Chain A
Amino acid sequence: MMGVEFVQLSLVPMAIGVLAAIACALPGNFLVLRKQALIGDAISHVVLPGIVVAFLVTGTISTWPMMIGAAGAALVAVGLIEAIRRLGRIEPGAAMGVTFTAMFAAGVLVLEQSDTSAVHLDVEHALFGNLESLIWLSADGWSSLADPGALAEIPSELPRIGIVAVLIASLVWVFWRPLAISTFDEGYAASIGVPVSLLGLGVVVAAAIAAVAAFDAVGSIIVIAMFICPPAAARLMTNRLGIQVAWSLGFAAISAILGYVLAGYGPLWFGLDNSVSAAGMIATVSGLLLAFACLFAPHRRA
């Protein structure tokens, strides 16, 4: 399992899974602590129509059109929520729920009606991604990691999510202090000159970038799960923010690796023929980790 075949078939999907999980879990910590966990859910729904429209306009799946499409969709979502709230006099939570699910559904419909056969973009892909298909056939063992020729052939999803994960991690590291202060006590943070609105927006934008970058490879199920499950489980492990974030990254990585392995080999162990969706299994593992944390973690609330 750890030889040539592993490098060709499993290394890249696993690495993408881990990086996507980490990129989502990092902003997820702050979303959960700011009681905005549903924003992660919302973002991952709104992203779909944006990406579909970006594809229809440009005809390709590449990073910038996807980002711009997702950002445009987010703006439309915000406008729609305001319109529903004011014109319909409906409370904000309900307005958000209606908008996000309707936009996701619209994205699915447009996707079904458009010819996306040339690329990996269909409804199933939108939900589960295409992690298993991101194989690295030009690799012939671990030594390929040092071979520029082979590295050039590596699926482009890997460097894309890698760059995003590093970017988000650096931003969290640099802005750690103001992020922690404004997440705990926004009024106080504002009084000492922390730009609280900008930081709050930054967290949401970082989450959106992580969602878009992860979406293409792993689908929206993982994105939703990773925004919430690892940070929520990590919160129950410790009473310190820095340690919580470290735990959440650990949980995210474990979910990705264990989920991928279980999806590929688990059904065989149970005597079934086919493997199951890696993305679905990764999300399931993160949910199980959260369940275990709820039952056994040291800092559960009474």
Chain B
Amino acid sequence: MELVRQDGNSVTQSSKPAAVSVRGLTVSYGESPVVFSVDADLPLGQMTAIVGPNGAGKSTFLKAVLSIVKRLSGSVEVFGLPFEAARSKVAYVPQRASVDWDFPTRVIDVVMMGLYAELGLLGRMTGAHKLRARACLDRVGMADFAERQIGQLSGGQQQRVFLARALAQNADLFVLDEPFAGVDAATEKAIVSVLKSLRDEGRTIVAVHHDLSTVPEYFDHVLLLNRRKISEGSIADAFTQSALQEAYGGKLGAAQAPIADRA
């Protein structure tokens, strides 16, 4: 089922174009590599989950793809181009916990950060820009919070604001780091529905995801990581009991038993 795109054309595994192509990616913070020699082809117009235990290098993998951390070796292509050339088509949603929410700024100011690539240093912010920022807030259900200080928001609301900032970039690839960590159920539902609607517009979603039980429900494609690539492919092919056992080892509790093998 995941091999049929929105336009109804069947896409075979071999010709499926990749939004993100990674070859031999290795990243190291100290002596031992955090991500080791990973190859991956994250398909265009699909939702990919990056799954693995804590400390498996999932966030680092994303940051290396986005050139935020330095690659020790390996190559990354986004839409067939080096990342730097494709940067304007990519929107990144970092982990919510990575910033100080006491920062003196309003919700709408955060969303307008997403317009920086367009505005540059001194470009004038027009009424049209402001309308667009508000429309992005509206899309995540946060329009009523535009003037609020960001510290007054709940975790779920903060996550929606981060997503709205990414929407303002009008990107073709959305890269999210644990978008559902510490958010309420209503927010999780809202974010999934926005991500699916983005996919249905032909955009590509890549997200680090923790909750194994929702992977088959939310995503089309999966990359199982534990420093090395454990498996990659459609949910049916790659999200298997044996692959999960290999990724998580003994840490895979019964509560997190996957549903994929049913597929």
Contact = CB atoms under 8 A, between A and B. Distances in A.
Interface residues of B, number: 30
Given A174-B121, A178-B116, A239 B98 contact: no
Contacts of A244: 104
B99 A241 contact: no
B13 to A, nearest CB: 30
A187 B68 contact: yes
Interface residues of A, number: 27
Contacts of A187: 63, 68, 92, 94, 98
A192 B106 contact: no
A190 B92 CA distance: 10
A177 interface: yes
A240 B105 contact: yes
B191 to A, nearest CB: 17
A193 B104 contact: no
Given A191-B66, A193-B87, A239-B149, A185 B99 contact: yes
B109 A177 contact: no
A188 B94 contact: yes
A44 B196 CA distance: 53
Nearest to A176: B121
B110 interface: yes
Interface in A181-197: 181, 183-185, 187-188, 190-194
B81 interface: no
A192 B116 CA distance: 8
Contacts of B68: 187, 190-191
B67 interface: yes
A33 B122 contact: no
A191 B88 CA distance: 10
A299 B152 CA distance: 12
Given A184-B99, A188-B94, A191-B92, A239 B117 contact: no
Given A190-B68, A193-B117, 4 more contacts: A177-B116, A192-B116, A194-B116, A240-B104
Interface of B: 63, 66-68, 84, 87, 90, 92, 94, 98-100, 102-106, 109-110, 113, 116-117, 119, 121-122, 149, 151, 165, 169, 175
10 contacts: A180-B113, A184-B100, A190-B66, A190-B68, A191-B68, A235-B104, A239-B104, A241-B103, A241-B105, A301-B102
Interface of A: 33, 35, 174-175, 177-178, 180-181, 183-185, 187-188, 190-194, 235, 238-241, 243-244, 299, 301
